[in-house]
């Protein structure tokens, strides 16, 4: 039998052990932490310098705001003229630092910060302009658990007690010294502060005068071309106002003078771009060509000119683009110490990391060579699909490895070109991830994505994560590329195939269901689904009469528009307008314009006519770059989309279109029409003239009608013009011919002057 006293003694011993353990824990808590707030009370106050900087004031304000949100406790802000107290949070160069002569406070060359505790005080210090501010927001994120997900959405949870370690010794300095994401949402001043970005409110960049493509600002074609064509590029033997002639001494003198005037207006700015225009028609005169051939790259003549300008402004940094034809470094010419190289990745694939993609081998050679020549490289990367801003674009897995590779090759400045328009696929998520990785390319990107999806989409986040992961898995498994000027149709057999589209819909249905009671988050989920709606419509347009396409047969066997598509389009555009989407494509197409173009297409498509499905013979084949050069598209009854001319249109580059159609027997006609497209920014022009001919034997031709172009060739945007002929009297024919008279090369006013021009044709209608 157990002794009752022994049992009691055992119980007392256990009780004493627990009490002792509590005391030990309390002692550890007391010595290991500082309690900043408890039960909506605090003994702390924020101390700022009497002559506080703008960054000091913002840091104090942000800390005060989120301290109050998370702890429901007000944290006073006072100047350091107030008497010293035991509980202080010192921000900036306060007089409280004078008593810390025994502490080694680091110096920073960029935006670094140092946070430390001393007894019961917390100090935020930096010698850089915004370091204190960046330290404050890092502190708020780490210890208060706050996340700024977008310019309008922050995430935080209430806490009854806020404790921090009493031995903080936290020093951070970014690897990337210039950080820009170029998403419109990230231009918001608070967002830029919070995520440590170098943005002005309108998307510009602090300390930059000219940003890029500045030749026309230095030597204006409007001012000089007419009297001095020799100042401009020689292309195919002609002087055209596309680029500058970089070996002309007058061009150098004018450039220096005009740049000096611009600098005098903004003397505080350091960086000035002296960069080629956005076209590839560079000067090939004898002198420029000699330098370029000797240096193995058109960068030879450019860098020689840029260096000469840099010599005139030793106190400034002259930046120049290494872009398209100037991407390859010169063999012997090195950038001056005050020259910045803005290296661009426009040609690269986005489905594989730069470091391992076989297709990026030449770029790797170029950046590694630039890294040998200079330590001042600003990397201009592209992270969205510009031709279809709201389309699915699974490139999220290459963001981090690309940043790491580029940083390791001396690219310590980054401009990540996202979407300057409102909206775009996962715009908030992309801005968030890129911003975090620009500060720390080695952060845990999966953790960053999960924290964003959970905070922004609530319970729906797990389904959206499934969607993102599956799309990326399928792209990787396919081995396909991913281009920034691509289209959803490029992925119709890979990550956007019909089976996967069904699965994506299932996940989004579940995502909407679990948050249906929260209207705010439900709206975010629906917006995240916009790219799928857009892809479905674009795929249906491409498929035409095939399964899943735009057209189905009605009860009478006639082709009609699938009623699901207009309903889908109305939903897409309605929701895009609610979100405030400004463009569906980089340079044009508002949501309403997109819907209007679809409706116009539906009203004219699938019209029966005499040429329907007739064989077409082309004298010269159409380019296989577009629609595979398939001539049958001219008589398939489908009108090519106005806004997506990369399919269902035939393109001819640098030569005329001559097409012949033959009938089995003499056929009576009274109307002829063909549709032509203009997008002069893409070097596509309307024909000057379209002529129609008839023949009885297919050898001897008689002119029926010729129609001249009356439209403005210089008009921007995408436009379609029908070259139509209504015959005065009907006539019987056996063979018909269509022949264009066009610009074979781009005109002198065009950025591609001297280069081969395109003409694009779609349906040839005969009645």
Structure tokens at 611: 């040429």
Q: What is the pLDDT of residue 320?
A: 98
Tens-digit pLDDT profile for residues 731-761: 999 999 999 999 888 888 888 887 889 999 9
Q: What is the pLDDT of residue 184?
A: 92
* CB 474 within 8 Å of CB 458: no
* CB 297 within 8 Å of CB 329: yes
Q: What is the pLDDT of residue 510?
A: 98
Q: What are phi and psi of 7, to 5 degrees?
A: -65, -40
Asked whether residue 361 carries a pLDDT value surpassing 70, the answer given is yes
* CB 460 within 8 Å of CB 512: yes
Q: Strand (E) positions, 476-576?
A: 551-553, 559-561
Identify the DSSP state of 679.
Answer: B
- Mean of the pLDDT values across residues 704-729? 90
* CB 569 within 8 Å of CB 561: no
Tens-digit pLDDT profile for residues 188-209: 999 999 999 999 988 899 999 9
Tens-digit pLDDT profile for residues 129-172: 899 999 999 999 999 999 999 999 999 999 999 999 999 999 99
Residue of 765, 52, 645 lying closest to 388 (CA atoms) = 645
Angle between helices 299-312 and 249-265 (to 10 degrees): 50
Burial class (CB in 10 A: 0-12, 13-18, 19+), 258: middle
For residue 727, what is the enclosing H or E element? Answer: strand 719-741
The residue among 63 and 717 whose pLDDT is bigger is 63
Asked whether this chain's domains 204-341 and 607-766 adopt the same fold, the reply is no
| Cα four-point dihedral sign 275, 278, 280, 284 | negative
Identify the DSSP state of 482.
Answer: -
Place of tokens 């309008």: 152
Asked whether residue 579 carries a pLDDT value surpassing 50, the answer given is yes
Separation of alpha carbons 700 and 473, rounded Å: 59
For residue 141, what is the enclosing H or E element? Answer: helix 131-144
Question: What's the residue count for the chain?
Answer: 767
Give the three-class secondary structure for 356: coil
For residue 765, what is the enclosing H or E element? Answer: strand 758-766
Asked whether residue 3 carries a pLDDT value surpassing 80, the answer given is no
Return the number of other C-beta atoms located less than 10 Å from residue 12's C-beta: 10
Q: Strand (E) positions, 310-453?
A: 317-322, 339-344, 377-382, 413-417
Q: What is the pLDDT of residue 596?
A: 87
Q: What is the pLDDT of residue 287?
A: 98
The fraction of the chain above a pLDDT of 90, given in percent, is 76
Tens-digit pLDDT profile for residues 75-132: 999 999 999 999 999 999 999 998 887 888 888 878 999 999 999 999 999 988 899 9
As assigned by CATH, the class of the 35-173 domain is alpha beta
As assigned by CATH, the class of the 204-341 domain is alpha beta
Average pLDDT value over all residues in the chain:
91
Residue of 106, 148, 100 lying closest to 127 (CA atoms) = 106
Residue of 526, 395, 386, 404 lying closest to 457 (CA atoms) = 526
- Mean of the pLDDT values across residues 522-527? 97
Least confident of 7-16, 396-405, 468-477: 7-16
Least confident of 254-268, 455-469, 593-607: 593-607
Q: pLDDT class for 253, splitting at 50, 70, 90?
A: very high
Separation of alpha carbons 189 and 194, rounded Å: 9
Asked whether residue 495 carries a pLDDT value surpassing 70, the answer given is yes
- Mean of the pLDDT values across residues 594-599? 86
Q: Strand (E) positions, 202-306?
A: 232-235, 238-244, 271-273
In CATH, which of 3.40.50.2020, 2.40.37.10, 2.60.120.260, 1.25.40.10 is domain 607-766?
2.60.120.260
Residue of 189, 196, 159, 190 lying closest to 67 (CA atoms) = 159
Q: pLDDT class for 12, splitting at 50, 70, 90?
A: very low
Separation of alpha carbons 342 and 335, rounded Å: 12
Q: pLDDT class for 1, splitting at 50, 70, 90?
A: very low
Q: pTM, whole model, 2 decimals?
A: 0.87
Q: Produce one character per residue of 515-545: b if its CB has 16 or more CB atoms within 10 Å, e if not.
A: beeeeebbebbbbbbbbbbbbbbbbbbbebe
Q: What are phi and psi of 75, to 5 degrees?
A: -110, 110
| Cα four-point dihedral sign 98, 100, 101, 106 | negative
What is the residue-wise DSSP string for 428-443? HHHHHHHHHHHH-TTS
Asked whether residue 763 carries a pLDDT value surpassing 90, the answer given is no
Asked whether residue 548 carries a pLDDT value surpassing 90, the answer given is no
- Residues 6+ positions from 740 with CB-CB distance below 8 Å: 656, 657, 658, 687, 688, 689, 690, 691, 759
The residue among 431 and 103 whose pLDDT is bigger is 431
* CB 80 within 8 Å of CB 50: yes
Tens-digit pLDDT profile for residues 202-252: 889 999 999 999 999 999 999 999 999 999 999 988 899 999 999 999 999
* CB 454 within 8 Å of CB 448: no
Q: pLDDT class for 31, splitting at 50, 70, 90?
A: low
Q: What is the pLDDT of residue 99?
A: 82
Structure tokens at 81: 């003229």
State the Cα torsion 35-41-42-43 to the nearest 10°: -110
- Mean of the pLDDT values across residues 589-597? 89
* CB 190 within 8 Å of CB 151: yes
Return the CA Rg of the chain. Answer: 33
| Residue ranges of domains in the chain | 35-173, 204-341, 470-600, 607-766
Beta bridge partners of 151: none
Burial class (CB in 10 A: 0-12, 13-18, 19+), 18: exposed
Q: pLDDT class for 25, splitting at 50, 70, 90?
A: very low
Give the three-class secondary structure for 260: helix
What's the maximum distance between 2 C-alpha atoms anywhere in the chain?
Answer: 126
The fraction of the chain above a pLDDT of 70, given in percent, is 94
Q: What is the pLDDT of residue 627?
A: 80
Residue of 196, 235, 236, 231 lying closest to 215 (CA atoms) = 231
Return the number of other C-beta atoms located less than 10 Å from residue 609's C-beta: 16
Q: What is the pLDDT of residue 556?
A: 82
- Mean of the pLDDT values across residues 285-294? 98
Asked whether residue 23 carries a pLDDT value surpassing 60, the answer given is no
- Residues 6+ positions from 549 with CB-CB distance below 8 Å: 540, 541, 542, 543, 562
């Amino acid at each position: 039998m157990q002794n009752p006293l022994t049992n009691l003694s055992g119980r007392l011993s256990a009780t004493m052990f627990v009490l002792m353990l509590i005391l030990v824990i309390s002692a550890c808590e007391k010595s290991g932490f500082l309690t900043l707030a408890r039960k909506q009370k605090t003994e702390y106050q924020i101390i700022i310098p009497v002559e506080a900087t703008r960054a000091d004031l913002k840091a104090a304000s942000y800390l005060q705001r989120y301290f109050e949100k998370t702890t429901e406790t007000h944290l006073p802000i006072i100047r350091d003229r107030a008497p010293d107290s035991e509980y202080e949070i010192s921000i900036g160069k306060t007089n409280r630092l004078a008593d810390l002569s025994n502490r080694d406070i680091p110096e920073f060359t960029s935006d670094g910060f140092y946070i430390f505790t001393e007894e019961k005080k917390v100090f935020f210090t930096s010698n850089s302009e915004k370091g204190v501010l960046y330290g404050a927001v890092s502190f708020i994120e780490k210890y208060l658990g706050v996340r700024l997900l977008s310019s309008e959405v922050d995430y935080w949870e209430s806490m009854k007690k806020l404790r921090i370690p009493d031995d903080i010794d936290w020093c951070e300095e970014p690897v990337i010294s210039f950080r820009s994401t170029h998403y419109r949402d990230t231009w918001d001043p608070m967002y830029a502060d919070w995520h440590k970005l170098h943005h002005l409110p309108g998307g510009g960049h602090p300390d930059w005068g000219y940003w890029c493509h500045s030749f026309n600002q230095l030597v204006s074609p409007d001012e000089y071309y007419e009297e001095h064509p020799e100042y401009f590029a020689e292309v195919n033997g002609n002087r055209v106002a596309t680029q500058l002639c970089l070996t002309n001494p007058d061009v150098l003198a004018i450039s220096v003078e005009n740049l000096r005037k611009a600098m005098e207006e903004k003397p505080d700015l350091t960086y000035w771009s002296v960069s080629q225009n956005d076209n590839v028609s560079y000067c090939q005169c004898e002198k420029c060509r000699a330098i370029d051939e000797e240096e193995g790259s058109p960068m030879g003549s450019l860098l020689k000119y840029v260096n000469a300008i840099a010599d005139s402004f030793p106190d400034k940094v002259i930046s120049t683009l290494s872009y398209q034809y100037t991407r390859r470094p010169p063999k012997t010419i090195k950038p001056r110490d005050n020259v910045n190289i803005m290296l661009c990745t426009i040609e690269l694939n986005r489905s594989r990391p730069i470091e391992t993609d076989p297709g990026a081998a030449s770029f790797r050679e170029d950046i590694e060579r630039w890294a040998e020549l200079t330590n001042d490289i600003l990397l201009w990367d592209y992270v969205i699909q510009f031709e279809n801003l709201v389309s699915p674009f699974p490139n999220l897995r290459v963001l981090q490895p690309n940043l790491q590779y580029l940083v390791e090759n001396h690219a310590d400045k980054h401009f990540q070109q996202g979407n300057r328009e409102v909206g775009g696929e996962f715009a908030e998520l992309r801005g968030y991830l890129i911003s975090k990785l620009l500060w720390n390319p080695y952060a845990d990107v999966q953790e960053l994505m999960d924290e964003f999806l959970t905070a922004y989409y609530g319970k729906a986040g797990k389904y959206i994560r499934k969607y993102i992961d599956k799309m990326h898995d399928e792209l990787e498994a396919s081995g396909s590329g991913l281009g920034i000027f691509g289209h959803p149709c490029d992925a119709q057999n890979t990550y956007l195939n019909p089976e996967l589209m069904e699965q994506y819909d299932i996940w989004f249905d579940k995502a909407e269901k679990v948050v249906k009671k929260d209207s705010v988050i439900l709206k975010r989920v629906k917006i995240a689904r916009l790219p799928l709606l857009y892809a479905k419509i674009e795929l249906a347009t491409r498929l035409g009469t095939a399964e899943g396409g735009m057209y189905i047969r009605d009860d009478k066997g006639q082709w009609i528009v699938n009623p699901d598509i207009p309903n889908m389009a109305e939903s897409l555009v309605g929701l895009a307008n609610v979100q405030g989407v400004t463009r569906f494509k980089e340079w044009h197409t508002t949501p309403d314009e997109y819907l209007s173009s679809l409706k116009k297409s539906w009203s004219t498509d699938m019209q029966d006519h005499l040429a329907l499905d007739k064989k077409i013979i082309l004298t010269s084949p159409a380019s296989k770059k577009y629609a595979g050069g398939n001539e049958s598209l001219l008589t398939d009854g489908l009108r090519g989309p106005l806004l997506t001319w990369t399919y269902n249109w035939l393109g001819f580059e640098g030569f005329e279109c001559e097409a012949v159609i033959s009938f089995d027997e003499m056929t009576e006609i009274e109307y002829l029409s063909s549709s032509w497209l203009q997008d002069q920014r893409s070097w596509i022009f309307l024909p000057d003239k379209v002529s129609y001919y008839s023949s009885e034997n297919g050898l001897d031709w008689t002119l029926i009608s010729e129609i001249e172009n009356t439209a403005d060739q210089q008009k921007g945007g995408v436009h379609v013009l029908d070259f139509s002929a209504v015959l005065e009297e009907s006539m019987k024919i056996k063979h018909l011919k269509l022949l264009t008279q066009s610009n074979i090369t781009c005109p002198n006013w065009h950025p591609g002057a001297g280069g081969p021009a395109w003409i694009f044709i779609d349906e040839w209608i005969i009645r």
